[in-house]
Amino acid sequence: MASSKTLVDFFQPAKRMKLSETLIPKSNVSSLCKSSSNNDPNTDAAAITDSSSSNLTTEQRTRMEFNKSLANAKRNIKLCSDRISKAKEEGKGYVKLEELLVEETWLEALPAELQKPYAKNLSLFVEREMSGNVPIYPPAHLIFNALNTTPFDRVKAVIIGQDPYHGPGQAMGLSFSVPEGIKVPSSLVNIFKELKQDLGCSVPSHGNLERWALQVMKCLVSFRNLVHSAIVNDI
């Protein structure tokens, strides 16, 4: 019996797909292989476009969709970082909060939301704090990481954390998530334990939840357990 995939599979670095030459022309296989080892989001997106007409399996199409979403998330983060760098070059102490939400689907869903009185007051408070001497977490370019990573039309569940991160290198703009190499928060450890107890999922070795935020790991044909696919599809 074929083994089913668990959430731990989605916490591992993206692996190069083994693509059959009978399904994809050699030129397209070459493009995909290059994109898997290239960190340039534009290259990844180009490879996806070039291969979109190929007769791929469901799992291959899902992997390509994941790479496309990952490239978009990287582009958004870079755009925020560039805006912050430009502000520093111009001698500004901070970037306006409204300039750090760059995901187009959210801008369309929340037109002028950050211009409303309550949002302006909140933005001014955060901007004053950012321009002071007190460390602010997460870093400015990750303040809207949750929205810039997950397009509005892909949101299926909203996870809200209770406690803020208070140490450097921990916060990454995603509730419960910490970068690889950082101790996994006890609350996230409990979440992993529940998943293992309820569904038999393996416990990941780190707490980076970026793949949850990308929201593209849908039901794959290799999933044996419908509950597994439902959980992954929801978070």
Active site residues: 163
- Name the nearest CA neighbour of 158 among 138, 142, 171, 174: 174
- Cα(207)–Cα(181) distance, integer angstroms: 9
Which of 145, 169, 158 minimizes the C-alpha distance to 81?
Answer: 145
* Angle at CA of residue 168, ends 166 and 174, nearest 5°: 70
User: Does 41 sit behind a cis peptide bond, omega within 30 degrees of 0 on the bond before it?
Assistant: no
Distance of alpha carbon 53 from the chain centroid = 26
Apex CA 174: angle with CA 202 and CA 106, to 5°?
A: 125
Q: In 3D, which of 212, 167, 168, 169 has the Cα closest to residue 188?
A: 212
Whether the Cβ atoms of residue 146 and residue 173 lie closer than 8 Å to each other: yes
**Tokens at residue 56, please?**
């791929």
